[in-house]
Amino acid sequence: MTITHHPVTVSAPEGLPWVDIEREFDATPEEVFRAHADPEVFVRWVGPHDLTNEIDQWDARDGGSWRYVARRDGQEHWFRGCFHQVVPGRRIVQTFTYEGYPEGVSLEILELEPLEGGRCLLRARSVTSSVEGRDAFVASGMESGVVAGYEKLDGLLAG
């Protein structure tokens, strides 16, 4: 079986406090949605290849919250947020906080658009409270983690 890894487009417009991500998947919007909303699937693909993830709490519904830990080389990195809107197969709006930098809360909007052939386009926007916060987010290696995570997701969706 051949797995296609589509390119990820990450843009951080000059002077604006957000990051936009676009990526096609050879899977339906419902399948990609499940990968973002189901904790047992989410922990298997999110982040770089050398991380292991574990869910602390996960309630993917309007008003629900989430928290997980990513581990690498004996270090732990905790993340948490709240689900504000969950529309199955179409949209997730949530907050995102890296607990190592708790004042850096972002609002994340993920939308899935169906494409021909049972495929979909993922569009995500992460809005930070400042351009400086956005720049720190980008400098943290976010892009390489997104690319690696979506490559892992391709394998899960294909198998």
Tokens 């569009």 label which residue? 123
Instruction: Please state, in angstroms and rounded to a whole number, the distance separating the CA atoms of residues 159 and 93.
Output: 27
User: Three-state SS for 59?
Assistant: coil
DSSP H helices in the chain? 29-37, 39-45, 131-139, 142-158
> Each residue of 55-67: pLDDT tens digit?
999 999 999 999 9
> Each residue of 80-103: pLDDT tens digit?
999 999 999 999 999 999 998 888
Instruction: Please state, in angstroms and rounded to a whole number, the distance separating the CA atoms of residues 126 and 17.
Output: 8
What confidence score (pLDDT) does residue 90 get? 98
What confidence score (pLDDT) does residue 108 get? 98
Torsions phi, psi of 148, nearest 5?
A: -65, -40
> Each residue of 102-119: pLDDT tens digit?
888 999 999 999 999 999
Tokens 């079986």 label which residue? 1
Least confident of 2-11, 13-22, 64-73, 104-113: 2-11
Question: What domains does the chain contain, in order, with CATH numbers?
Answer: 8-158 (3.30.530.20)
CB 150 within 8 A of CB 4: no
What confidence score (pLDDT) does residue 1 get? 59
What is the value of pTM for the model shown? 0.94
Instruction: Please state, in angstroms and rounded to a whole number, the distance separating the CA atoms of residues 65 and 80.
Output: 8
- By CB neighbour count within 10 A (0-12 exposed, 13-18 middle, 19+ buried), where does 84 fall? middle
